């Protein structure tokens, strides 16, 4: 089965399985509760998680039940669904993104929680330390030093005359605000000016990109659930505005954006499957250190570069971990 078909199957199964049937199976099988913003934003990486579970012998609806809860833009539902999982005593909660992780942590101090990605798990108060997380929560961190500076260096190398950089970000996300500050510091070192394109909901994205059209020479996109849920829209609008885009994860480049430099999120989600496997077999989250990514990858979408009439230097392409043609 092709990966795209598999991911579609995962998302479709989640949507089509009746709640009553899932609840009935949860009485017989270990249950993993997945909490996120939307299946559209996360299915690309959840496919890697489910595939890893399969490899470890955890087959959905045969040896394990997976229940999905999507907030669909209603942030108050994170707490509601976290409380539901706690009340129903699922075996593990897999929260997708910082808001979901905080909601799960607030809902229970007993049920194991595994986060597949967290930008600053210690600073966000999720764990006591990376080596000794303590409590009932552990997972994977996508934090790496000076990634913002390295991304800006890449943009400067391939975009002639780069002087003004637009930063698309969710203005309601505190963690994103910290990332924006890092971009601003890096821009100052490179002598670049920054213009913020802050958004608070999906309807703000089109006006935000329109506001920097014709002014900025590139768009730096700070990832979070709102961005993940609207990645196709962002890609389409940026391309129409002739804005080369830089992301922190290759999933966006797969769907048509220009560049990404950061951890392999699919690998992090796969590794989250290892954590879940160990916990279902008796391990305690407090005994499983939070791990950081071991590989940072550069991915370039050459089709998008051609659509933007942007020539990517051959030496740069040779440095890329993957070039999408």
Pairing of strands 164-170, 193-199: parallel
Report whether pLDDT(19) > 80: no
Identify the three-state secondary structure at position 235.
helix
pTM of the predicted model as reported, rounded to 2 decimal places: 0.81
User: Which tens digits make up the pLDDT trace of 186-195?
Assistant: 999 999 999 9
What token pair was written down for 241? 């505005």
| pLDDT-above-70 percentage for the chain | 91
Q: How far is CA 256 from the centre of its chain?
A: 16
Contact 50, 11 (CB under 8 A): no
Full 3-state SS string of 131-183: CCCCCCEEEECCCCCCHHHHHHHHHHHHCCCCCEEEEEEECCCHHHHHHHHHH
What is the residue whose two structure tokens read 């505190």? 174
The answer to whether 235 touches 257, Cβ cutoff 8 Å, is yes
Total residue count of the chain as it appears in this document:
325
pLDDT, averaged across the chain: 89
Maximum mean pLDDT: which of 117-126, 151-160, 273-282: 273-282
* Cβ neighbours of residue 270 closer than 8 Å, sequence gap 6 or more: 48, 49, 51, 52
Q: Which of 6-10, 43-47, 128-132 has the lowest mean pLDDT?
A: 6-10
Angle between helices 39-55 and 3-16 in degrees, nearest 10 = 110
Say how far apart CA 210 and CA 291 lie, in whole Å.
39
pLDDT in tens, 195-242: 999 999 999 999 999 999 999 999 999 988 888 889 899 999 999 999
- Please check the confidence at residue 18 and state whether its pLDDT lies above 50: no
Q: 145 pLDDT band (50/70/90 cuts)? A: low
Domains and CATH numbers, the chain: 3-143+265-287 (3.40.50.2300), 147-263+296-324 (3.40.50.2300)
């Amino acid at each position: 089965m092709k990966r795209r078909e598999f991911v579609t199957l995962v998302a479709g199964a989640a949507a089509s399985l009746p709640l009553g049937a899932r609840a009935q199976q949860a009485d017989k099988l270990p249950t993993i509760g997945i909490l996120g913003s939307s299946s559209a934003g996360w299915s690309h990486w959840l496919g890697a998680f489910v595939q890893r579970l399969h490899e470890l012998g955890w087959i959905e609806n045969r040896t394990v039940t997976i229940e999905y809860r999507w907030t669909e833009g209603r942030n108050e539902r994170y707490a509601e669904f976290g409380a539901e999982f706690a009340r129903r005593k699922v075996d593990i909660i897999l929260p997708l993104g910082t808001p979901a992780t905080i909601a799960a942590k607030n809902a229970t101090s007993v049920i194991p929680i595994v986060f597949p990605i967290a930008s600053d798990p210690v600073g966000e108060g999720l764990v006591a330390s990376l080596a000794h997380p303590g409590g009932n929560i552990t997972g994977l961190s996508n934090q790496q030093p000076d990634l913002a500076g390295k991304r800006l260096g890449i943009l400067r190398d391939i975009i002639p005359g780069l002087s003004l950089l637009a930063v698309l970000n969710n203005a309601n996300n505190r963690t994103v605000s910290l990332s924006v500050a890092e971009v601003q510091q890096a821009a100052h070192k490179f002598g670049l000016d920054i213009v913020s394109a802050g958004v608070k909901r999906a309807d703000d994205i089109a006006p935000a990109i329109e506001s920097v059209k014709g002014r900025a020479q590139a768009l730096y996109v700070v990832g979070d659930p709102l961005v993940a849920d609207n990645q196709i829209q962002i890609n389409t609008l940026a391309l129409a505005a002739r804005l080369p885009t830089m992301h922190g994860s290759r999933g966006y480049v797969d769907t048509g954006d220009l560049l990404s430099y950061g951890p392999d999120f699919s690998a992090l989600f796969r590794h989250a499957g290892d954590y879940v496997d160990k916990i279902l077999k008796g391990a305690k989250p407090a005994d499983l250190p939070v791990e950081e990514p071991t590989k940072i990858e550069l991915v370039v979408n050459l089709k998008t570069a051609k659509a933007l009439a942007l020539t990517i230097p051959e030496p740069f392409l040779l440095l890329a971990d993957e070039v999408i043609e």
